[in-house]
Amino acid sequence: QSANVTLIDLPGHESLRLHFLERFKAAARAIVFVVDSVAFQREVKDVAEFLYQVLVDGTVLKNAPALLIACNKQDVTMAKSAKLIQQQLEKELNTLRVTRSAAPTSLGGSATSGPAQLGKKGKDFDFSQLPMKVEFVECSARGSKGEEGDADCEALEKWLAKIA
């Protein structure tokens, strides 16, 4: 409880997000990847795309920071569960992996300069194949009573205390 943790919130806009990821990834001991559990169904491709970029990054793979996927907005009735989000992300990341590996390499013919392979070859992707420990939690920044209640981020707080 007495450990200091510095949290850096990356902006949502794609160009800014990638810029800040580049700037801070080498020093990151952990990554909290927040997912909107209500909008997840319609945003799954975009969410998986950014997560894929993070997971195949050479620096991230080398440092293998702990990764928490925080499934936010669990106070909303239509929110998807962490288990469902995990399953759908694994499926979408597997699709991205297959389409990316089938894409032609650069004109120079060098395939080694590109991003790393995600997961194990010949197997459908799942998070256990990654070099870092990946956990999923459900949380709500607004709490169970919406605007009135306190945030329900206990699982996130416990995870941060564990990795600090």
- What is the extent of the structural domain holding 48? 14-102+111-163
Task: State the average pLDDT over residues 111-127.
Answer: 78
In this structure, what token pair is assigned to residue 8? Answer: 């850096």
Share of the chain above pLDDT 70, in %: 87
pLDDT at position 16:
85
Cα 155 to Cα 2: distance, rounded to the nearest angstrom: 17
Q: Is residue 1 part of a domain?
A: no
Mean pLDDT of the chain: 87
According to DSSP, the residues that pair with 33 across neighbouring strands are 69
Q: Is residue 4 part of a domain?
A: no
Task: State the average pLDDT over residues 122-139.
Answer: 94
Could you tell me which residue, 106 or 4, shows the higher pLDDT? 4
Count: domains in the chain: 1
3-state DSSP assignment of residue 149: coil
State yes or no: pLDDT of 146 exceeds 50: yes
Q: Is residue 2 part of a domain?
A: no
The domain that holds 18 is classified in CATH as: 3.40.50.300
Q: What digits encode the pLDDT tens for the residues 25-47?
A: 999 999 999 999 999 999 999 99
Q: Is residue 131 part of a domain?
A: yes
According to DSSP, the residues that pair with 135 across neighbouring strands are 68
Q: Is residue 7 part of a domain?
A: no
- Confidence bin at 151 (pLDDT 50/70/90): confident
Could you tell me which residue, 117 or 144, shows the higher pLDDT? 117
Residues 72, 80: contact at Cβ < 8 Å? Answer: no
